[in-house]
Chain A
């Protein structure tokens, strides 16, 4: 089955692969972001890109890129190499571990409302 298949649409017994086999990564269609009550508010100016939040996030919802030029972070320092980007809100469940573990308090949990 190609990537264009939308797994969230129900399928008949003749369409699905046998034995319940599934191709990789189909869970990306399931947006767990709707589970949230609190949202992590990330302040890049306070971030040291220590990667602690990246490792502990239970949903791997904090993307990391390797930056050659570097990004500005904590106390205006330039951080090169692995740097974190904004949380992927499609999947963040709002558990708050990133905020709890951040050594520079760069992440704060904010109550999310339907308007957000």
Chain B
């Protein structure tokens, strides 16, 4: 699978998310949605939590969706998707529904890491057959950049801003991919909009597996991370090349790192382009960058070790 072949597949399928939506110019979510939806050869039902994606694509009376779509409230993308999946099983048993239908739930990092975590955990534990995709833009972006469990250490958000006595968020991010893997589900992955084919392959693999699947995708937010809107893809690339956002998958407890940069770029290159980290370049905050670099390097080494022990020593995550 390469970029051209993927475009051919998508051209043949037709657009499942059409233009006319109100995403910010330069938002990466369209890439995520079209790639993932194109990975499903079978018809798809999308369940969406409240958030950027839901709000911009369905401002009444304009909906950009060309597939059946449901939005209930903020917390329950995973539980509403469980309901759709249960109904699908029931109606298939009855013979009312005959075709295979894939159920994909989309939630932002707010609706997945924080308020939707319980619903996600329950849905994963009950082993519903659906795919949950979290588009992680590292904050409650739709409501104006409030901090979430996915906001990185040191970021300045509106609810944890940097100021005279604070350097922004003092807590490290949650590792949601490992939390999802701890539910013993068959497939968990972390992907990025930078590598579209990798994202497609992960979605395709996920949809071919029976059971609950989880994919976490980085989505740089030009409006709230504050960088020029034509640099969205560059930001995603830098995030992976600095090991801030490694690309990996955990299949039945075995971890595989999908991309290893030949030379890890220093985190400053990722941070300096974003206004939400600008305050870290002041002399009194330089220690924060040092701590961030240290944690990124430690986490990367950890990840490589996990790859080795799950592949070679039979350890399962």
Residues of A within 8 A of B (CB): 7-8, 11, 16, 20, 22-32, 35, 49-52, 54-61, 64-66, 81-82, 88, 90-91, 93-97, 99-101, 109
Contact = CB atoms under 8 A, between A and B. Distances in A.
Contact of B30 (A20, A28, A58): A58
A96 B29 CA distance: 16
Contacts, number: 134
A82 B35 CA distance: 16
A28 B22 CA distance: 11
A22 B60 contact: yes
Nearest to A59: B19
B249 to A, nearest CB: 20
Given A55-B3, A97-B232, A66 B11 contact: yes
Contacts of A99: 230
Given A56-B233, A58-B27, A97-B233, A20 B60 contact: yes
Of all A-B residue pairs in the complex, the 7 with the closest CB atoms, nearest first, are A27-B20, A96-B230, A91-B19, A51-B7, A93-B25, A95-B26, A95-B25
Give the most central of A23, A29, A97: most B CB within 10 Å.
A97
Interface string B217-248: 00000100000111111100000000000000
A27 B66 CA distance: 10
A112 B290 CA distance: 43
A27 B18 contact: yes
Given A55-B7, A81-B8, A95-B229, A60 B61 contact: no
Nearest to B63: A22
Interface residues of B, number: 46
A82 B8 CA distance: 5
Contacts of A59: 19, 21, 23, 30
B34 interface: yes
A60 B34 contact: yes
Given A27-B19, A57-B31, A58-B25, 7 more contacts: A8-B61, A25-B65, A26-B61, A32-B21, A49-B4, A59-B21, A93-B25
Given A64-B11, A97-B232, A58 B31 contact: yes
7 contacts: A26-B62, A32-B19, A32-B20, A50-B3, A56-B28, A58-B27, A58-B30
B84 to A, nearest CB: 15
Contact of A28 (B11, B12, B19, B230): B19
A107 to B, nearest CB: 11
A8 B34 CA distance: 25
Contacts of A50: 3-4
Give the most central of A52, A54, A99: most B CB within 10 Å.
A54
Given A57-B30, A58-B25, A51 B60 contact: no
A24 B25 contact: no
B25 A35 contact: yes
B129 interface: no
B57 interface: yes
A32 B22 CA distance: 7
A57 to B, nearest CB: 7
A24 B44 CA distance: 14
B19 A64 contact: no
Give the most central of A27, A82, A88: most B CB within 10 Å.
A27
A94 to B, nearest CB: 6
A71 B203 CA distance: 32
A97 B65 CA distance: 23
Contact of A27 (B4, B12, B57): B57
Nearest to A32: B20
A51 B8 CA distance: 9
Contacts of A58: 23-31, 232
B289 interface: no
Contact of A52 (B3, B20, B23, B27): B3
A54 B28 contact: no
A28 B10 CA distance: 18
Interface in B45-95: 57-58, 60-67
